[in-house]
Amino acid sequence: MIRWASEQGFVAELEGLYEGWRPDAAPAPMVLVANASLAAELGIDPTWLASSEGIAAVLGSEAPPHPTVAQAYAGHQFGNYSPRLGDGRALLLGEALTTDGRRVDIHLKGSGRTTFSRGGDGKAAVGPMLREYVIGEALHALGLPTTRALVVIATGETIARDRPLPGAVLARVASSHLRVGSFQYAASSGDTDLVRRLADHAIARHYPQCALDPEPYLAFLEAVSVAQARLVSQWMAIGFIHGVMNTDNMAISGEAIDFGPCAFMEVHDPRAVFSSIDHSGRYAYGQQPGIAQWNLARLAETLLPLLHHDTQEAIRIATEAVENFAGVFRHEYLSRMRAKAGLVDPATPGEEAAAIVNGFLALMTSHRVDHTLGFRSLSGVLRGQSGAFEALFANNEDVRAWRDRWLTAVPADPSMRLGIADGMDAVNPVHVPRNHLVEEALAAATAGDLAPLEALVDILRVPFERLPDDERYLLPAPDGWEGYMTFCGT
């Protein structure tokens, strides 16, 4: 059974931000993957979830005891404003409670056309929905806040893409589906009361401490800013490129959401882009902090009437809050990068640590070193086993100079170095979703073989430790994969 919340807060409090809607029926539903650990958090028996009763509940064909709705939102897509996006192929099935009392959304993707579909078919293909499952589980295991797939169900339909593909519905769990674009939609309706209700709802749901602040809406903007700084600093640390950081794909909760053309970077390169439609590199790896701040500025604009009755004063307050993102981000980012490089001695000044980290990133770029392998190789050096490091970095003047400077900042005591090396291995993964393996697993699944996908996810659930027989999961794509692209035609 799904433990629905008795109060469906979004529907109860935010009329004007949704349309009641029912999902399409799936002609021949078949569970492709069911997320047992996430089901357990929700108090759902995984056997029930895979039963015909469970499938009917999670697809919404057996209606829950409350309305299911398509959520309205606007958004800047690649910088261009669309006033009406909304759930064009998705529905909020409802708010459920976890066994430890947290409120989460269960949301369908690929459930058919809605009032927001514009020209789209409302459907989703098996591959992209399984990609959401793989990426969400990987990020979760790496310790990032993220939406996660509860179940992916093949519908039995064939859908038209560049070629005919099997259709699927994803049921995903998120702490909510409030987006920057939700605020943009409310604000562009011109109804300040709706913006206020939305902000109050978001505060109660995600940042309850802000309600006690003398300036609750400013506190809210600052809290979202901190949550985004944390999230994006974690992306940067693990080499993750979201790929479509449109304002409608930025969650107010600070969870990672809507994985389309996302990828883990291999060669460390600030300009790395994988999305086939991102021609200008707007959402390249190194652009992500700046884009997060740009998106926060769009959120801040929607809150102006709540920040001060005098518009000029409201703009001043909002601008200051948005500008503060840069400092918060720098702090979050540097503390994560220090941990990755073993620069945990508080005696090392921040500027020196930043210079060492930046020097290492520049070396990885110039030597074309894989981000994941590069960071993981550093702990070996501290253990007196430099083989992995030396295999990645040619022994030249730059490398020697960097290594000397780095080692000067790490305590010389061998037993302390061993402890630091263990700490580094706890934050520098060995297992990330390698693009060629994700593609291989999705292609096999689309053709009906789920075994490679299951094996991949099992490995990704243990990101920081070597496992028996994991060799093929460790390395970047073989030659010929350079220029790898993922596609938005999801």
Burial of 311 (0-12, 13-18, 19+ CB in 10 A): exposed
Q: Which residues pair with 106 in a beta bridge?
A: 94, 173
Give the interface size with ligand AMP as a residue count (CB under 6 A). 17
Q: Is residue 241 a contact partner of residue 285, using CB atoms and an 8 Å limit?
A: yes
Does residue 61 belong to the site contacting ligand AMP (CB under 6 A)? no
Residue type, 57: A
CA 370 distance to own-chain centroid: 21
Q: Angle at Cα 255 formed by Cα 109 and Cα 173, nearest 5°? A: 40
Minimum separation from the CB atom of position 5 to ligand AMP (A): 24
| Partner from ligand AMP, Mg ion, none binding residue 261, C-beta < 5-8 Å depending on class | none
Does residue 88 belong to the site contacting ligand AMP (CB under 6 A)? yes
Minimum separation from the CB atom of position 60 to ligand AMP (A): 17
Closest to 363 in 3D by CA, of 334, 419, 425, 405? 405
Pairing relation of β-strands 148-160 and 164-174?
Answer: antiparallel
Applying CB under 6 A, among 76, 89, 148, 417 the residue interacting with ligand AMP is 89
Give the per-residue contact string, 257-276, with Mg ion (x = CB under 5 A; - = no): -x------------------
Minimum separation from the CB atom of position 114 to ligand AMP (A): 8
Q: Is residue 261 a contact partner of residue 487, using CB atoms and an 8 Å limit?
A: yes
Closest to Mg ion by CB, 248 vs 425, is 248
Q: Which are the contacts of 25, defined by CB distance < 8 A and separation ≥ 6?
A: 61
Closest to Mg ion by CB, 75 vs 476, is 75
**Maximum Cα–Cα distance for the chain, whole Å?**
68
Minimum separation from the CB atom of position 391 to Mg ion (A): 40
| Partner from Mg ion, ligand AMP, none binding residue 374, C-beta < 5-8 Å depending on class | none
First and final C-alpha spacing in the chain? 30
Closest to ligand AMP by CB, 149 vs 430, is 149
CB neighbourhood size of 259 (10 A): 26
Three-state DSSP class for 69?
strand
Closest to Mg ion by CB, 24 vs 258, is 258
Closest to 483 in 3D by CA, of 266, 238, 259? 266
Applying CB under 6 A, among 121, 213, 269, 440 the residue interacting with ligand AMP is 121
Burial of 6 (0-12, 13-18, 19+ CB in 10 A): exposed
Applying CB under 6 A, among 85, 223, 238, 410 the residue interacting with ligand AMP is 85
Closest to ligand AMP by CB, 95 vs 258, is 258
Spell out where 246-391 has E strands: 263-264
How far apart CA 73 and CA 420 sit, in angstroms, is: 46
Q: Which of residues 230-269 bind ligand AMP (CB under 6 A)?
A: 244, 249, 258, 260
Minimum separation from the CB atom of position 147 to ligand AMP (A): 12
115-123, 149-157, 172-180, 396-404 -> range binding ligand AMP (CB under 6 A): 115-123
13-21, 118-126, 354-362, 367-375 -> range binding ligand AMP (CB under 6 A): 118-126
CB neighbourhood size of 476 (10 A): 20
| Partner from ligand AMP, Mg ion, none binding residue 86, C-beta < 5-8 Å depending on class | ligand AMP
Does residue 24 belong to the site contacting ligand AMP (CB under 6 A)? no
Give the per-residue contact string, 219-258, with Mg ion (x = CB under 5 A; - = no): ------------------------------x--------x
| Partner from ligand AMP, Mg ion, none binding residue 87, C-beta < 5-8 Å depending on class | ligand AMP
Closest to 372 in 3D by CA, of 332, 322, 430, 420? 430
Put residue 95 in one of left, alpha, beta given phi > 0 → left and psi -120 to 50 → alpha: beta
Closest to ligand AMP by CB, 253 vs 428, is 253
How far apart CA 402 and CA 314 sit, in angstroms, is: 47
Closest to ligand AMP by CB, 44 vs 186, is 186
Minimum separation from the CB atom of position 177 to Mg ion (A): 10
Does residue 86 belong to the site contacting ligand AMP (CB under 6 A)? yes
Residue reference for tokens 């990101």: 463
248 flagged as catalytic: yes
How far apart CA 472 and CA 24 sit, in angstroms, is: 40
Catalytic residue among 24, 87, 200, 248: 248
Does residue 87 belong to the site contacting Mg ion (CB under 5 A)? no
Closest to ligand AMP by CB, 166 vs 463, is 166
For the CA atoms of 285, 290, 296, 297, the dihedral, rounded to the nearest 10 degrees, stands at -150
28-36, 86-94, 233-241, 404-412 -> range binding ligand AMP (CB under 6 A): 86-94
**DSSP character at residue 85:** -
Q: Which chain residues interact with ligand AMP by CB under 6 A?
A: 85-90, 116-117, 120-123, 244, 249, 258, 260, 490
Active-site residue set: 248
Q: Which chain residues interact with Mg ion by CB under 5 A?
A: 249, 258
